[in-house]
Amino acid sequence: MSDPDNEAGSEWKELRADETAEGKRLDQWLAALLAPEFSRSRVQAIIREGAVSLDGRAVSEPKRKVSAGECYRIMLPEPEAPEPEGEAIPLSILYEDDALIVIDKPAGLVVHPGPGNWTGTLVNALIHHCGATLSGIGGVRRPGIVHRLDRDTSGVMVVAKADHAHRVLADAFADHGQDGDLERAYVALVWGVPPRSSGSVVAPLGRSTSDRTLRAVVPAGRADARHAVTRYAVLERYGPGRPEEQIASLVECRLETGRTHQIRVHMAHIGHPLVGDPAYGRAFRTKVNRLPPQLAAKVAAFPRQALHARLLAFRHPETGEMMRFEAPIPHDMTELLEGFAGL
């Protein structure tokens, strides 16, 4: 229930204790009911602040024993985002020193905590692996993060372990490699074959008007429009016949800018969305009907967009040495490519 006189962002809630609550500590009982938004320590603080009442009187002792039938009234503040903790999540480490760590991120791993993904992220894994050595410039929930990959995109990422390295790497990514000190290459399996073997997509990106979690090509004059350039080259073509009749192709994409979902949106914009892309490739789902049954089943079961960050090259922030890292295409995507190669 809400209270019109309540402070902004807070909510009154009434909770009645049943037989299972008999004899439990008040903080323990409330924390179980309010998890995961409120931890036990947070509930204890709320109680001590006088925000919990019984029969109109504030209860300020977290250890108080609960009796069945009691009805507590609690004023809940906006839940605080939890600080991430280290978790023993395996990492595929390509390189590590005192300044940075380079990993091959698997598909399905979220980079940093956020709504719906407060645990099980790359940040949780890094905290466990690196301890206190991670750079803090990115903030509590993004320590060391200077760039990111979508949850369902696999491939090479670099993370800063020292603050100076973080600043230098962040500047390089913000510059999008215009000085030649940053190189990023992805491979993507897309529907159809682009009409030219290589080309560039130059189209500004902004928020989609139909879904604010997605991006779209927008007019350059729109307030949120961001300059975006993707260079592509066709590596393989799949299916018989002329290029315009072939069913799919493997393309390499190189970024001149680094916008959210850039490759996915740009390839869809030129009529060649990524195979398996649930957000930008929905209009091409019927393409599966043109595939042999075994391959069609593989495509239908593929749980993500077929996109892999194959290459990342950058200048080491401490030594100045150019470093180059490559990650092989993961098994799930390799199997998919083998299926298309058999067309």
- Domain residue ranges in the chain: 11-76, 81-174, 179-343
Assign 336 to helix, strand or coil.
Answer: helix
Cα–Cα distance for residue pair 219/144, rounded to 1 Å: 34
Q: Can you give the pLDDT at residue 4? A: 33
Q: Can you give the pLDDT at residue 12? A: 80
Average pLDDT by stretches of 10, the chain with 343 residues: 40 88 94 82 88 90 94 80 86 98 97 84 95 85 91 97 93 77 95 95 94 93 93 96 91 94 98 95 84 94 96 96 97 97 94
The CATH superfamily label for domain 179-343 reads Pseudouridine synthase (3.30.2350.10)
Q: Can you give the pLDDT at residue 80? A: 58
Domain 81-174 has CATH 3.30.750.200: no
The reply to whether domains 81-174 and 179-343 share a CATH topology is yes
* CB burial readout 156-174, b (16+ within 10 A) else e: bbbbbbbeebbebbbebbe
Pick left, alpha or beta for residue 16 (phi over 0 → left; psi -120 to 50 → alpha; otherwise beta). beta
How much of the chain is in helix, strand and coil states, percent to nearest 5?
Answer: 25, 25, 50
User: CA dist 118 to 75, 80, 132, 139, 234, Å?
Assistant: 24, 11, 19, 15, 38
Assign 286 to helix, strand or coil.
Answer: helix
Q: Are strands 52-54 and 71-76 parallel, antiparallel or unpaired?
A: antiparallel
Instruction: Tell me which amino acid residue 199 is.
Output: G
Which residues touch 242 (CB under 8 Å, ≥6 apart)? none
DSSP bridge pairs for 58: 53
Q: In a 10 Å sphere around its CB, with 0-12 CB exposed, 13-18 middle and 19+ buried, how is residue 31 labelled?
A: buried
Q: Can you give the pLDDT at residue 81? A: 60
Annotated active-site positions, please? 150
CA nearest neighbour of 191 among 251, 137, 110, 242: 251
Cα–chain center distance at 247: 30
Cα–Cα distance for residue pair 36/209, rounded to 1 Å: 32
The secondary structure of 120-189 as a DSSP string is SSHHHHHHHHHGGGS--TT-TTSTTBSS---TT-EEEEEEESSHHHHHHHHHHHHTTTTTS-EEEEEEEE
Instruction: Tell me which amino acid residue 192 is.
Output: G
The secondary structure of 40-53 as a DSSP string is HHHHHHHHHTT-EE
Instruction: Tell me which amino acid residue 107 is.
Output: A
Q: Can you give the pLDDT at residue 140? A: 78
Which residues touch 182 (CB under 8 Å, ≥6 apart)? 172, 173, 175, 176, 313, 314, 315
Predicted TM-score (pTM) above 0.85: no
The CATH superfamily label for domain 11-76 reads RNA-binding S4 domain (3.10.290.10)
